[in-house]
Amino acid sequence: MAVMSSNVSAAGRAGLRLLAIHAHPDDESSKGAATMARYADEGVTVKVLTCTGGERGSILNPAMDRPGVVERMHEIRIEEMAHAAEILGVEQEWLGYIDSGLPEGDPLPPLPEGCFALADTEEATAKMVKVFREFRPHVIITYDENGGYPHPDHIKTHAVSVRAWERSGDPDYRPDLGEPWTVQKMYYTHGFIRRRFELLAQAEEEAGHLTAASALERWNDVPDIMPRVTTQIACAPWFVRRDEALRAHATQIDPEGPFFAVSTELQEQVWPTEEFELAASRVPAPVPEDDLFTGVVPD
């Protein structure tokens, strides 16, 4: 179990609710996972809403490239997601859409029929609004207009999340979906910070770990998103849980891959936070912040 925050008791945030919206199983563990684990330990009810089942995910861990895995990918990814949620201490729900895959080529092939990226946006919005009204989150986390990176499912997640943010509290919008619920704050998660990778590579080079430093070179072309960051959450004691949750997605995460190129201990020292952008707020919330719940009024 992770060490508790020094200034918040386990019951100190009881009654608060956080909803993190992600495109695929494993996204929740690579983007803001330590923050979710911290808040869960501090008494917040945290839920992950996963928009697709990740059915079209490739096997990215060589150890999982064995007979029968591809045929059972849907079931396996459900099992992996349940394991990761248990590790993080969060609830999890599926929005119910089919993974769009990541089309590659020139020209790009068309998206597969029936996938999330091609789904009717208003229909998907209604499904998400129903989740909002049932779970009643005070804060939601989603992706920015670029999806964090331009995967079609991530971009669709952004579009649907923003519409649900706008409509959930409107009593005239789909009263059949439940009592209106107004979310107080919406954040974009920014999991890939170029400056973070630069500092980690520098620390590895200084320690003589050139292999790890070179593994971080893949992030050199990541756009500098740091100017958009408004909120940094101190969550280093929860990095171990984050890594365990990542490894739970065994088909997608290679334990010898770049996510684990740098030791957890060094990450805790060099960059002990996770980053978010306050995209919209209905309560006073001066930035910069160090808490997603700054200004939130409990119900």
pLDDT tens sequence for the chain (299 residues): 233 343 454 457 889 999 999 999 999 999 999 999 999 999 999 999 999 999 988 787 788 878 888 888 899 999 999 999 999 999 999 999 999 998 888 888 899 999 999 999 999 999 999 999 999 999 999 999 999 888 999 999 999 999 999 999 999 999 999 999 999 999 999 988 989 988 998 998 898 887 777 777 777 777 889 999 999 999 999 999 999 999 999 999 888 887 888 999 999 999 999 999 999 999 999 999 999 999 999 98
pLDDT score at 166: 98
pLDDT score at 1: 28
Q: Does the annotation list 154 as a binding residue?
A: yes
Domain interval for residue 231 = 17-194+225-281
Residue 98 lies in a domain: yes
Length of the chain: 299
Q: How many domains does the chain have?
A: 1
pLDDT score at 59: 81
Residue 67 lies in a domain: yes
**Could you count the other beta carbons within 10 Å of the beta carbon of residue 235?**
23
pLDDT score at 11: 56
What is the domain-level CATH number for residue 183? Answer: 3.40.50.10320
Q: Does the annotation list 209 as a binding residue?
A: no
pTM score of the predicted model: 0.93
CB 180 within 8 Å of CB 169 = yes
Residue 189 lies in a domain: yes
Residue 2 lies in a domain: no
pLDDT score at 58: 78
Residue 210 lies in a domain: no
Residue 206 lies in a domain: no
Residue 297 lies in a domain: no
DSSP string, 206-270: HTT-HHHHHHGGGGTTS---GGG--EEEE-GGGHHHHHHHHHHSTTT--TTSGGGSS-HHHHHHH
Alpha helices in the chain (DSSP H): 27-30, 33-41, 73-88, 121-135, 152-167, 194-206, 210-215, 239-248, 264-270
Q: Does the annotation list 27 as a binding residue?
A: yes
